């Protein structure tokens, strides 16, 4: 039973979707609609097995609930995964089939970009469903959310650096960026422009070549970057990078990146704290994307308001860091508390 899965957290709905004609095999998890329609990206990934896909979508959807709550958005949390290799299996027919599945939920879930999913894919899905966001077309289009995600992470890194090292800016600091996708590359560009020394890792040789050419970056293997000689480690790839083994090898004193579900286990937050490593909770620092998409999903996209909310990310992080220090808690524990402070009164009154 799904309810026996350790990552199940009273999710409202978990749906398994199969469409034989297109080869679609997917899962949609709606964690909470307490604050509004559940919003969350559509991840297309060749999971090794269905159990891994289920674990991922359950964890990611819960994270989206916390993300929208702490960003003060009138939206809930959900996520979906399509079990496929986006380089091989992604077709317009498959995207249309998934769009029709989203339609069946009647607006309780709104999808968007994630790993393996692009703005062009959202535009393709708009041909069959209105319950997607992050499009480049339409009167209310919000465009590629990775721009705001990357900018929010950069601002968050500045806040974490000020907290941990007592200094302004990243000039002269060594920052390791793991994952040079849309967000990671844009983050690296901002860090380089502001004087950081970059160490990078990615599975795609073209991304590495671009980073070396444009930033003069040092290159290490993806499995080794967490242990490199860094001041700041920015995970911008898949989750679970922070665990007992990797934390024991870290030299960085700040972890702040865009990847979701960076902690393999909640106890890893304590491990980071004991090691003197300041952790910027992932669903707080990477909230710029959902803030951007919210403007489109709520049919009132206002660039100035979106930018103001993204610029508020460092203030939220500073509140978290200060409360964590004062109460001898981890930043992750405090972030969860702050998100639940917004959710629980509404849940009780429902």
By annotation, the residues acting in catalysis are 79
Distance, in Å, from the CA atom of 254 to the CA atom of 273, rounded to the nearest integer, reads 11
The CA angle 345-79-25, to the nearest 5 degrees, is 145
Q: Given the DSSP bridges, would you call strands 24-32 and 13-19 parallel, antiparallel or unpaired?
A: antiparallel
- Chain-centre distance of CA 172, in angstroms? 27
146 burial (CB, 10 Å; 0-12 / 13-18 / 19+) is buried
Residue 219 — left, alpha, or beta (φ > 0 → left; ψ -120 to 50 → alpha)? Answer: beta
Q: For 170-205, b where at least 16 C-beta lie within 10 A, e where not — what string?
A: beebbbbbbbbbbbbbbbbbbbbeeebbbbbbbeee
User: Which segments of the chain are extended strands (E)?
Assistant: 13-19, 24-32, 38-39, 42-45, 76-83, 109-110, 174-178, 197-201, 218-219, 232-235, 254-255, 278-279
Distance, in Å, from the CA atom of 104 to the CA atom of 110, rounded to the nearest integer, reads 12
Helix axes 331-349, 313-327, angle to 10 degrees: 110
Distance, in Å, from the CA atom of 160 to the CA atom of 255, rounded to the nearest integer, reads 8
- Chain-centre distance of CA 169, in angstroms? 23
Structure token pair of residue 78: 């959900």
Contacts with 275 (C-beta within 8 Å, 6 or more apart), sequence order: 247, 248, 250
């Amino acid at each position: 039973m799904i309810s026996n899965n350790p990552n199940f957290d009273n999710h409202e709905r978990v749906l398994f979707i199969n469409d034989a004609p297109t080869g679609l095999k997917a899962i949609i998890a709606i964690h909470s609609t307490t604050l509004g329609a559940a919003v969350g990206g559509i991840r297309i990934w060749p999971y090794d097995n269905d159990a891994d896909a289920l674990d991922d979508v359950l964890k990611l959807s819960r994270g989206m609930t916390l993300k929208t709550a702490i960003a003060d958005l009138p939206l809930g949390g959900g996520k979906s995964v399509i079990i496929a290799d986006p380089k091989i299996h992604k077709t317009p027919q498959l995207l249309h089939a998934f769009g029709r599945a989203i339609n069946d939920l009647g607006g309780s879930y709104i999808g968007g970009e994630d790993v393996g999913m692009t703005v062009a894919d959202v535009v393709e899905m708009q041909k069959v469903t209105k319950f997607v966001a992050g499009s480049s077309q339409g009167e209310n289009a919000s465009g590629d959310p990775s721009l705001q995600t990357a900018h929010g992470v950069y601002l968050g890194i500045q806040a974490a650096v000020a907290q941990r090292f007592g200094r302004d800016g990243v000039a002269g600091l060594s920052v390791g960026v793991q994952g040079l996708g849309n967000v990671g590359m844009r983050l690296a560009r901002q860090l380089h422009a502001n004087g950081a020394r970059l160490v990078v890792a990615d599975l795609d040789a073209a991304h590495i070549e671009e980073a070396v050419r444009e930033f003069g970056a040092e290159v290490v293997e993806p499995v080794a970057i967490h242990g490199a000689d860094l001041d700041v480690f920015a995970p911008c790839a898949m989750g679970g990078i922070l665990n007992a083994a990797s934390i024991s090898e870290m030299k960085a004193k700040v972890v702040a990146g865009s990847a979701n579900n960076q902690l393999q286990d909640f106890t890893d937050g304590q491990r980071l704290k004991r090691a003197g490593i300041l952790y910027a909770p992932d669903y707080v620092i990477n909230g710029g994307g959902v803030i951007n998409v919210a403007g489109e999903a709520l049919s009132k996209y206002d660039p100035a308001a979106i930018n103001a909310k993204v610029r508020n990310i460092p203030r939220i992080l500073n509140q978290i860091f200060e409360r964590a220090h004062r109460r001898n808690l981890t930043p992750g524990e405090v972030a969860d508390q702050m998100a639940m402070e917004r959710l629980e009164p509404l849940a009780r009154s429902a």
